[in-house]
Structure 1
Amino acid sequence: MVFCINNKVNEKIKSNLEPGTEQGILKRILFEWRNISILLFLYTLQGVPNGLAGSIPLLLQARGTNYSDQAIFSLVSWPFNLKLLWAPLVDAIYWKRMGRRKSWLVPVQYLIGVTLLFLSFHVDSLIDSLEIWVLTALMFFLNLLIATQDIVVDGWALNLLKRENVGLATTCNAVGLQIGRFIGYGLFINLASPDFSNKYLRTVPKSDVGVVTLSGFMFAWSIIYFVCTTLTFFCKKEKDADPEIENAEVDEDKRNITITSYLRLWRIIKLPAVQNCLIFCLTGNVVGLSSFIHDLKQVEAGLSKEVLAQLSVPLAPLGLLITVLMTKWTSGVRPMSLFRNTYGLTLLSTVIFAAMVPVTGFLNNHGTFPWWYFPSLLGIDIFATICFTCTGVAQVAFITKISDPAYGATYATLFNTGINVGAIGSVAVSLWLVDPLTVKSGSSDGLCSTVFDGYYVETIACVLIGVSWFYFWGNNAITELQAKPESAWKLGTVRDECQPV
C-alpha cells in the first residue's frame, strides 16, 4: 500500500532539486507523490457517500415520491453549510500522541463505515416504503460525519504538503471528490439500472433489478472504509507539530480550550482580508443561480432523466482532466487569475443552457430527437463543465494558498462554508423564485398558459447581476486579494493570539 513504502524515491528526487529554484509541476508531484496519493484517496472516500446522497432522489422519484418529500430529503446537504460551527474544535481538541488530524480522522471514518453498514441493512426498505424523515435523518448524520472528515482532510493537507506545494492540495480535492462522486452517482446509477445491466452486463436478462443494489453498494463501501482507515491509523505517521504551536497550546491548556477556539475563529473573521474574501466567496457564485434548475426544465421540456444521467457520464473524466490541466495555474502564486479569465465564459454558458430548453421542447417528437441533438447537448455540457470547473477550482486553490497551516481546518472550513452557503443558497432561491416570477394568462376555456417562464427571468437577472458584480467589484477584488501579503491572512504569532482578549 502507498502508506508503507519507504522514502528512497523522495530522497533521490529531493537531492536533485536545488533550494530556491522553481520546481516544475511534474517534479513537485513526484517529490510529494506519497502525500498526494494519500490526500487523493481520502477525498475519493469522501466523495462516494456524497454521490450516493445525490443518487437517492432518483430512486425516490422512481417510486412516486412528490416534490415536498424531495425538498425534505434535500436537508441532508446542510451539514456542509454548518460545519464551521465545530471546525474550531477539530483544530483545538486532539490526542497529541496520535496526531492533530488522525485523532479526528480515524474515529470519524470508522463511524462513517458503521453508518454505511447500518444503512446497508435498512436503506432499501426505507426507500420502498418512502420513510422520508427516517431516511433523511440517517443520511443527514452520514453527511455530518463526511463534513467533519472534510474539515480534517482540508486542515491536514496544509501540513501534509510542503508550503510551496500546497496548491497541489486543490488538485487532490477536486480530482478525488469527482472520482468519488462519479462512483457513488454515475457508476452506481448505471449498475443499479435493469436496462443498462441487461443490455451491457448480463447474458440472461432480469427485468426488475440491476447488477447491484443500494444496500449492497453501501455494504461494500463500509468494508472499504474499515480497511482504509485501519491502514491510515497504522501506516501513516503525522509530522511533529511546530514547536511554537505546541508551546502556545500549553498556554491554551490554562484556559477553556473550547472558548479559546471560538475566540480564535472570531479573530480570524475580523481580519479585513478574510472579510473581503468571504464576501467574494458568498457572491462569486451568483452566476450559477439559474443553472441549478436547468436539468429540471429539460425534463419538463421532454428530455428523459435517463438520458441526462447518461450524458453526465463522460463529464466526470472530463472534469478530472480539466482539474489536472489547470494545476499549472492553480498551484501558482495567482490562482484567482484563472477565475478572472473564465468568468465571462461561465456567464455565456448560463445563457446557452437557458436557450437549449425551448430548443428541446421544439425538437421533442414524443420522446425522440434528431440525431444531431444529443451531440450538440453534450458539447454544451462539456463547455459548461470546463467553465464551472475552472472558476470553482480557482477559488479552492486560492483558499488553500492563503490558509494559515497552524489552524488549517478553521481557515479552510470558513472559506469553504462561504462558498457552500452561496451555492446551496442559490439552489433554494432559484427553486423558490421560479413560480412567483412566471407570468401566466388565462383563456376563455379556463386553462392557463405560460407567457414567460420564471426560469428565463432568473437567467436574465443572473447574467445582468454577474456582469455588474464583476465589472464594478469582482475584478478589482481579485487583484486586491491576490496582492495582499501572507501576513494579512494570519493572526500573528500563535502565542500572542492566545493571550486574553
Structure 2
Amino acid sequence: MGDNHRQLAKHDVRPFCLLVVLYFLQGIPVGLAFGTVPFLLKSMAKDTTFTELGLFSMATYPYSLKILWSPIVDSFYSSKIGRRRSWIIPVQLISGLMLWLLGFLISHNWVFAGVDNAYKNSDVPIDVTGKHLNISSLTLCFLLLVFLCATQDIAVDGWALEILSKQSLSYASTAQTIGLNTGYFLSFTIFLTFNSGDFINKYIRSSPKEYGIISFSNYLQLAGILYVAVTLYVMFFTKERPSTGMILPTNTKKSDEKDLLQVEYNSDIVGSTDNTRLTDVYTAFWKILKLPSVQSLMTIHFVSKFAFQCNEGATNLKLLERGFKREDLAITVLIDFPFEIIFGYYVAKWSTYIRHEVSSTETSNKLVKFLVGETGVLTPWLWGFLGRLTAAIMGNYLVSQFPSDGKITRGYFFLVIFQHLLGSFMSTVQFVGISAFHTRIADPVIGGTYMTLLNTLSNLGGTWPRLLIMYMIDTLTNVECDINGLTEELPMGKAECISKGGKVIVLRDGYYITNIICIIIGIILYFGFIKKSALRLQKMPITSWRCL
C-alpha cells in the first residue's frame, strides 16, 4: 500500500505534466519580479537604494493578497468551458499579450529606459540613475502582471485538486515545485546569464561584443508568445475534469475483477454544476479562517519567514553592490537549478513517506528531537527552517569577506555557490513540505478557496516584511562622502557624491545589523513558538480542518 502512495499513477502522468506547464508559466513573471528586475536595477543604477527596491517588491503583493478575490474565481465561470478553464484561458491570454506589450514598451525606452541600450544605438547612457528608470511605472506594470499570475494560480490550485486522482494528489505540490522553479530559473538565472555580454564573450563568442544573446524586451515578447501557445493548447486539447470513478486494468493482460483498480477523484460539490453565489463562497472562506487550527497555521506562516528576509532579499544584491558580477551570481543559481528539480521530487516522496508510514513516531536521537521534535508530516518543513537560518548566518560572513580588491578567488566563489545551494534547497524543502501539508488538510468540497487561502498565508509571511527589511538596511547604514580629503555625511546621495568627484565611504553597513536582528528573532521564534505549534498541528485529525 505504501508504494501506491509514493508513486505517480500512470493515468495521472498527462494531467501532472499539464500542471507542471501551467505552474511553469506562473514562474516566468515571478522570476522577473522577484529576481531579474531587482538585479537589473542594482547593476544599472548603482544609486538605487534598498528602500526603492523594497518599493518595487510591492509588485509581488498580489500573490499574498489573492485570497481576497479567490472566491470570485471560484464562483463565476462558464459551465460549458469549465470552472477552472473559464479563468485559466482568458487570464493567460491577457498575460501573454501584456508580456508582449511590456517588451514593446521597454524596447522603445517608454518603460525601464536604458535596460536594452547595449542592443541598439541610443543617446540614453547605459549606466543610468534610479530616477531616470522611473521605478514607480515599472512597479505598476509588474503589479498588474503579477496580479494576473496570482489569479491564474487560484484557478490552477483548484484544478490540481480535481484532475489528479486521490492516489496521486500529493504530487500536486511536486508539479508546483518543478513548474514554478523551472519558470523562475528561466526568467532569472538563464536570462541574466545569456543577457550578459561578458558571459557570452567569455564562453560562447569568438568576437566580443557589448551585449548578450537576448535583450530584456525580446525575452518578454517571447514569453508572451509562449503564454498564448500554451493557452491555445488548454483551450482546444484539454477538458475540465477526468471521468470520475474510472476503472482501469492494473496490467496489460486480460484482467479479472481482482485486477481492476478503482480510480477516485475529489468531488467538487461547491459549484459543480451551477455558479455558486459569491456570498456562499465568502461565507465558507470566513468559516475556514475561524477554525482554531487554521488560525494557528496562519500565525506560523505570518512570522516564520522573517528570519530569512534580509539574507534572501539583500545578500545577493549586497554582493552585486560590492562588485560581484551579475552573470557570475547567475551561474551560482544555474548550478542550483538541477538540484532544485531533483531534490524537489525526492522531498515530495519524503513528505509522502512520512505522511503514510512513520507519521508521529518517536525518535530516539536526542539532538534530532531537540531540533525538530517528533517525526511527522511537517518534519521536512522544520528541517528546512533550520537550513535557511544557517544560510542566513553564512550570508553575513560572505558579504563581510568579500575581497577588498574585487578579485574573486575560486574558494570564495565555491563558498557563494554552497551558501546559495543551502538556502535555495532548504527553501524547496520547506515549500514542498508545507504544500504537501496543505494538500493533506485542504477540504476539496470548498473548491480552490481552501488551498488558495493556505498558499496565500504562506506567501504573505515572505512578503509583508520585505519593505520593512529593505528600509532598515538603508536607515541603519551610515555613509560619508570624501571630496578632496574633506568628508561629510551623505545627504546628497551616492550618485551626486560620485558626480562631484567624491568617494563614498561606508562607516556602518546596515545589512549586517538587519540580518543579525532577523536571525536572532528567528531563533527565538523557532524554539519558543514555531516548533511547538508545528508539532501540535501535524497531530490534529483531519476533522479539525473541516468547516462544512
- Normalised by the length of structure 1, the TM-score is 0.84
Q: 1:335 to 1:374 in 2, by over 3 A?
A: same
- 2:536 aligned with 1:468: no
Task: Return the offset for 1:153.
Answer: 0.8
- Could you tell me which of 298, 323, 330 is aligned with 1:309? 330
Following the alignment from structure 1 to structure 2, what is the Cα–Cα distance between the partners of residues 100 and 263? 19
Say whether the 8 Å CA contact 2:270–2:446 is kept in structure 1. Answer: no
Counterpart of 2:7 in 1: which secondary structure? helix
Following the alignment from structure 1 to structure 2, what is the Cα–Cα distance between the partners of residues 79 and 369? 38
Following the alignment from structure 1 to structure 2, what is the Cα–Cα distance between the partners of residues 368 and 243? 60
Q: Which residue in 2 is equivalent to 1:123?
A: 106
- 2:467 aligned with 1:428: yes
Q: Which residue in 1 is equivalent to 2:252?
A: none
- 2:356 aligned with 1:356: no
- Could you tell me which of 69, 83, 87 is aligned with 1:104? 87
Q: Which residue in 2 is equivalent to 1:66?
A: 48
Counterpart of 1:326 in 2: which secondary structure? helix
Say whether the 8 Å CA contact 1:25–1:328 is kept in structure 2. Answer: no
- Could you tell me which of 211, 214, 234 is aligned with 2:213? 211
Give identity over the alignment, percent.
29
| Runs of 5+ consecutive residues of structure 2 not aligned to the other structure | 115-132, 245-265, 356-375, 490-504
Task: Return the offset for 1:150.
Answer: 0.8
Counterpart of 1:484 in 2: which secondary structure? coil
Q: State the AA in 2 paired with 1:225.
A: Y
Greater helix share, structure number: 1
- Could you tell me which of 279, 285, 295 is aligned with 1:275? 295
Q: Deviations over 1:398-450 (max 9, x none)?
A: 11221112234212221222222211222222112224445789999755786
Q: Which residue in 2 is equivalent to 1:15?
A: none
- 2:105 aligned with 1:83: no
- 2:457 aligned with 1:415: no
Say whether the 8 Å CA contact 2:79–2:273 is kept in structure 1. Answer: no
Q: 1:114 to 1:327 in 2, by over 3 A?
A: same
Q: Which residue in 1 is equivalent to 2:543?
A: 487
Task: Return the offset for 1:87.
Answer: 0.4
Q: 1:160 to 1:379 in 2, by over 3 A?
A: same
Q: 1:274 to 1:227 in 2, by over 3 A?
A: same
Following the alignment from structure 1 to structure 2, what is the Cα–Cα distance between the partners of residues 243 and 160? 10
Q: Deviations over 1:444-473 (max 9, x none)?
A: 975578676433333333333222222222
Task: Return the offset for 1:377.
Answer: 2.2
- Could you tell me which of 245, 265, 269 is aligned with 2:269? 245
Following the alignment from structure 2 to structure 1, what is the Cα–Cα distance between the partners of residues 384 and 221? 41
Q: 1:452 to 1:138 in 2, by over 3 A?
A: closer
- 2:30 aligned with 1:47: no
- 2:346 aligned with 1:325: yes
Task: Return the offset for 1:66.
Answer: 3.1
RMSD (Å) for aligned C-alpha atoms: 2.9
Task: Return the offset for 1:128.
Answer: 2.1
Following the alignment from structure 2 to structure 1, what is the Cα–Cα distance between the partners of residues 479 and 399? 18
Task: Return the offset for 1:216.
Answer: 2.0
Task: Return the offset for 1:156.
Answer: 0.9
* Aligned pairs (5 A) from 1:97-246: 97-124=80-107, 125=109, 126-128=111-113, 130-207=133-210, 209-239=211-241, 245=269
Q: State the AA in 1 paired with 2:96.
A: G
Task: Return the offset for 1:173.
Answer: 0.7
Following the alignment from structure 1 to structure 2, what is the Cα–Cα distance between the partners of residues 244 and 355? 51
Mean alpha-carbon deviation: is it higher for 290-299 or for 138-147?
A: 290-299
Task: Return the offset for 1:204.
Answer: 4.3
Say whether the 8 Å CA contact 1:63–1:128 is kept in structure 2. Answer: no
Counterpart of 2:3 in 1: which secondary structure? coil
Question: How many residues are aligned here?
Answer: 464
- Normalised by the length of structure 2, the TM-score is 0.77
